[in-house]
Amino acid sequence: MKKLLSLLVVSCMVLGLVACGNSKQTGKLIMCTNAEFPPYEYKDGGEFVGIDVEVSKLIAQKLGTEVEILDIAFDSLIPTVMSDKADFAMAGMTVTEDRKENVDFTHTYQTAVQVVAVPVNSSIASVDDLSGKKIGVQQGTTGDIYCTGDFGESAIERFPKIVDGFQAMKTGRIDACVVDDQVAKAIVAQDASSYKILDTAYAEEEYAIAVKKGNTDLLNKLNKVIDEIKSNGELKAIVDKYIK
Ligand code: GLN
């Protein structure tokens, strides 16, 4: 009986290890992100690049380890951190009170603005003009949360990646997209004859890294590095590489 019990304990431990992909297993820091969000995280020739990717590498380096990237849907990021399958989520993620119920956030490292992008010849000129229109958002983002709250479920078209929302705008299926400013700029820069960004901002926000609730050890380590790279210019150098 004792033997059977210890066998059980050992197999649970093994299963437990296999089930979780965090740094306890690999020694590396596992960062989950959604690599559909230029200039913060995207793929270039199969490589993960962008501000968050470079910042996470710098953080790992300063902590004497490496970072491994797990590319998943935006609305899976918080559950993945909560279930220990990644050490942290870094994805241009806005700090919100609701999210704080499920994860802990580091000090912020970037400010952002939710903007409205429309087809270049659109008559939509302000946030108020969005009323009665079809609005594209990336699923689970603050753009989704604000627009659903302000304009109602039936006004919203959700996309797993916001570039698909821009495409839908081009074909006339939707009227506007609400998305983070730098991401809108990066997409519009690729196709400036099709889209424009309204001057009036929807909301201002701040980005931070999310860790599992109560993981103060990692939180403190990340905060220390964030403070350091904010004050010594290393963060700005990375941002300047991607945002001209
Ligand atoms: N900043 C937005 C949010 O946190 C969008 C982030 C994203 O799409 N990667 O909801």
What is the predicted pLDDT for the residue at 20? 45
Residue 91 and residue 183 in contact, taking contact as beta carbons nearer than 8 Å: no
Helix, strand, coil percent content, the chain, rounded in steps of 5: 45, 25, 30
Q: What is the DSSP string of 134-192?
A: -EEEETTSHHHHHHHHHH-GGGEEEESSHHHHHHHHHTTS-SEEEEEHHHHHHHHHH-T
Q: Is the CB of 114 inside a 6 Å radius of any atom of ligand 1?
A: no
Tally of CB atoms within 10 A around 203: 15
Strand partners, 30: 68
Confidence band (pLDDT; 50, 70, 90) for 27?
A: confident
Q: Is the CB of 91 inside a 6 Å radius of any atom of ligand 1?
A: yes
Percent of the chain with pLDDT over 90: 88
What is the predicted pLDDT for the residue at 9? 44
Q: Is the CB of 95 inside a 6 Å radius of any atom of ligand 1?
A: no
Q: At what angle do helices 216-231 and 51-62 cross, to 10 degrees?
A: 110
CA distances from 215 to 46, 106, 218, 238 (A): 32, 11, 6, 27
What is the predicted pLDDT for the residue at 8? 46
Torsion of CA 232, 238, 241, 242, to 10 degrees: -140
Torsion of CA 17, 19, 22, 26, to 10 degrees: 50
pLDDT tens figures, 32-89: 999 999 999 999 999 999 999 999 999 999 999 999 999 999 999 999 999 999 999 9
Q: Check residue 123 and report its DSSP letter.
A: -
What is the predicted pLDDT for the residue at 24? 63
Distance between CA atoms of residues 196 and 98, nearest Å: 31
Q: Is the pLDDT of residue 139 over 70?
A: yes
Ligand 1 mean position, distance from CA 9 (Å): 40
Ligand 1 mean position, distance from CA 94 (Å): 6
Q: Indicate yes or no: pTM above 0.95.
A: no
Token code pair at residue 96: 């919100």
Q: Is the CB of 180 inside a 6 Å radius of any atom of ligand 1?
A: yes
What is the predicted pLDDT for the residue at 18? 40
Q: At what angle do helices 51-62 and 234-242 cross, to 10 degrees?
A: 160
